[in-house]
Chains A and B, each alone.
Chain A
Amino acid sequence: MKQILPVFKREFYGYFRSPVAYVFLIVFLFVSSGLTFYLGRFFDSRVASLDVFFSMQPWIYTFFISAVGMRLWAEEKRSGTWELLFTLPVLIQEGVIGKFLAGWAFISVGIFLTFPLMFTVGYLGDPDWGPIFTGYLGCFLMAGSFLAVCSFTSALTKNQVISFVISVVINLCLVFLGWSVFTNFLSFLPLSWVDALSNFSYTTHFNGFTRGLIVFKDLVFFLSLSFISLLMTVVVLER
Chain B
Amino acid sequence: MIEVQSLHKSYGSINAVNGVNFDVNRGEILGFLGPNGAGKSTTMKMITGFVRPTSGIVLVDGLNVQDHPVAVKERIGYMPENGPVYGEMTVEEFLIFIAEIRGYDDPTIREDKIDHACDLCRLNKVRHQSIETLSKGFKQRVGFAQAILHDPPVLILDEPTDGLDPNQKKEVRKIIRTMAKDKAIILSTHILEEVHALCSRVIIIAKGEVIADETPESLLKRNPKYNALKLEVKDIDLEVVRETLKELPEVSSAEINEGAVEIYPKNKQSIESLVLKVCRDKEWNISHFEKTPVGLDEVFWELTK
Question: Complex Cα distance A9/B96, Å?
Answer: 11
Q: Counting CB contacts under 8 A, is B70 at the interface?
A: yes
Q: Counting CB contacts under 8 A, is A190 at the interface?
A: no
Interface pair A17/B89, CB less than 8 Å apart: yes
Residues of A within 8 A of B73 (CB): 87-90
> If the complex has contacts A6-B101, A14-B88, are A87 and B78 also in contact, measured as CB distance less than 8 A?
yes
Considering the complex, give the chain A residue whose CB is closest to the CB of B47. A87
Q: Counting CB contacts under 8 A, is A181 at the interface?
A: no
Considering the complex, give the chain A residue whose CB is closest to the CB of B98. A88
10 cross-chain pairs, A with B, having the tightest CB-CB distances, nearest first: A80-B84, A6-B100, A89-B73, A17-B88, A87-B48, A87-B78, A89-B70, A83-B80, A89-B74, A10-B97
> If the complex has contacts A88-B101, A88-B102, are A79 and B87 also in contact, measured as CB distance less than 8 A?
yes
Q: Counting CB contacts under 8 A, is B43 at the interface?
A: no
Instruction: Name A's B-contacting residues (CB within 8 A).
Output: 3, 5-7, 9-10, 13-14, 17-18, 79-81, 83-84, 86-91, 238
Q: Which of A10, A17, A79, A87 has the most CB of B within 10 A?
A: A87
Considering the complex, give the chain B residue whose CB is closest to the CB of A18. B88
- Of B50, B74, B146, the contact of A86 (CB 8 Å cutoff): B50
Q: Counting CB contacts under 8 A, is B25 at the interface?
A: no
Interface pair B84/A14, CB less than 8 Å apart: no
> If the complex has contacts A10-B86, A83-B45, are A91 and B70 also in contact, measured as CB distance less than 8 A?
yes
Residues of B within 8 A of A18 (CB): 88
Considering the complex, give the chain B residue whose CB is closest to the CB of A2. B103
Question: Complex Cα distance A13/B81, Å?
Answer: 26
Residues of A within 8 A of B89 (CB): 10, 14, 17
Considering the complex, give the chain A residue whose CB is closest to the CB of B48. A87
Interface pair A80/B100, CB less than 8 Å apart: no
Considering the complex, give the chain A residue whose CB is closest to the CB of B79. A84
Listed by A's residue number, 10 A-B pairs whose Cβ atoms lie within 8 Å are: A5-B100, A6-B100, A9-B97, A9-B100, A10-B86, A81-B86, A87-B50, A88-B73, A89-B103, A91-B70
Question: Complex Cα distance A88/B153, Å?
Answer: 15
